[in-house]
Amino acid sequence: MTLHDQHVHTWFSNDSQAEPAENVRQAVSRGLAGLTFTDHFDSHPTEWPLCKYDYDGIAAAVSALRKEHGDNFFIGHGIEVCYQPEQTAKIFDYLDSHRFDLVLLSVHWFYGKALHERQYWTGLDPVTATRQYLETVLEAARFALDLKRQGRRPFDVLGHLDLVKRYTMRYFNTFDIRPCQDVVDEILRTCIEADLVPEVNLSTLRQSLPEPSPAEWIVGRYVKLGGRAMTLGSDAHRPEHVGTGVAEAAAMLKRQGVELLAVFRGRQRTDQPL
């Protein structure tokens, strides 16, 4: 198998206790060709004190594991950056002063609300929240496009673009992205123009949802709009979840006409045929 899981968390994220070596062992046992650690870089003022991103610690773990596994299995050092436009200077300073294989851009806050904290959902309904969240994802994609036009590329991958459905399902027992297809299409068009690769994230399948993020119909829209490559990520926070659903997601990509799996090493993209 030549598949890579490019969204994996370890005990260097404040919401995970997974040992890096255990993650690698699980990925190898599943027959994957590689994984990339993408621990959280959360710069929102309320989250920054809890952000445990330890570059030296992760780099040391990656180096040791690379020596142990050699060239038979790729181990990447990535980072998951939460979209925080007010913290741009802090984010860029950090990215510019450290080396990564992959930089993943994710949206966890929308309209001043934390997606993952129930207190911020007071007074919200699932329809409004879904559109507001997707509008923020579009804002993030346009931000990446503006940077590209300036000759900069701080981000490689857009993570779980319709993640909001995990929380509308959790809080309201419903999810429906289709009424927002206009926004979804614009996100996909912007990603294509910005060379920002959308991720297929498998975490929603562990959250009482019957589909990945984004849903298969969105992958089909991506292809119709001209997209060719995507990435796969389990978003595992526990070793047993590493690689879960990756093979099935690859089959879904092929079914929808996605031709390539984008794999990042040293911020350089290689497109591998599916």
The pLDDT, as a whole number, for residue 50 is 81
pLDDT, position 16: 85
The phi and psi torsions of 108 (rounded to 5 degrees) equal -115, -10
Cα gap 198→14, rounded to integer Å: 25
Q: Which pLDDT does position 197 carry in this prediction?
A: 98
Residue 34's contacts (CB-CB under 8 Å, 6 or more residues apart) are 4, 5, 27, 73, 74, 75, 76, 263
Q: Residues 6 or more apart from 249 whose CB is under 8 A from it? A: 200, 202, 212, 232
What pLDDT shows up at residue 1? 63
Chain centroid to CA 98: 19
Residue 274 CA to residue 254 CA, distance in Å, equals: 7
For residue 75, give the nearest of 262, 271, 270, 264 by alpha carbon.
264
We report the CATH number of the domain holding residue 203 as 3.20.20.140
Any idea what DSSP says for residue 245?
Answer: T
* Dist CA 177 CA 212 (whole Å): 12
Residue 127 identity (one-letter amino acid): V
Sheet strands (E) in the chain: 4-8, 34-41, 74-82, 102-106, 109-110, 113-114, 157-158, 197-201, 229-233, 260-265, 268-273
* CA distances (Å), origin 258, targets 83, 157, 185, 199, 274: 26, 16, 16, 12, 8
Its pTM stands at 0.96
pLDDT of residue 258: 97
Range of the domain at 17: 4-273
- Report the alpha-carbon distance of residue 4 to residue 6 in Å, rounded: 6
In total, how many domains does the chain have?
A: 1
Measured CA to CA, the distance from residue 249 to residue 238 in angstroms comes to: 19
Q: How far is CA 183 from the centre of its chain?
A: 19
Cβ(15)–Cβ(40) below 8 Å = yes
Give the pLDDT confidence score for residue 81 in this predicted structure: 98
Per-residue pLDDT of the chain (274 residues; tens, 9 = 90+): 689 999 999 999 988 899 999 999 999 999 999 999 999 999 988 888 888 779 999 999 999 999 999 998 999 999 999 999 999 999 999 999 999 999 999 999 999 999 999 999 999 999 999 999 999 999 999 999 999 999 999 999 999 999 999 999 999 999 999 999 999 999 999 999 999 999 999 999 998 899 999 999 999 999 999 999 999 999 999 999 999 999 999 999 999 999 999 999 999 999 999 9
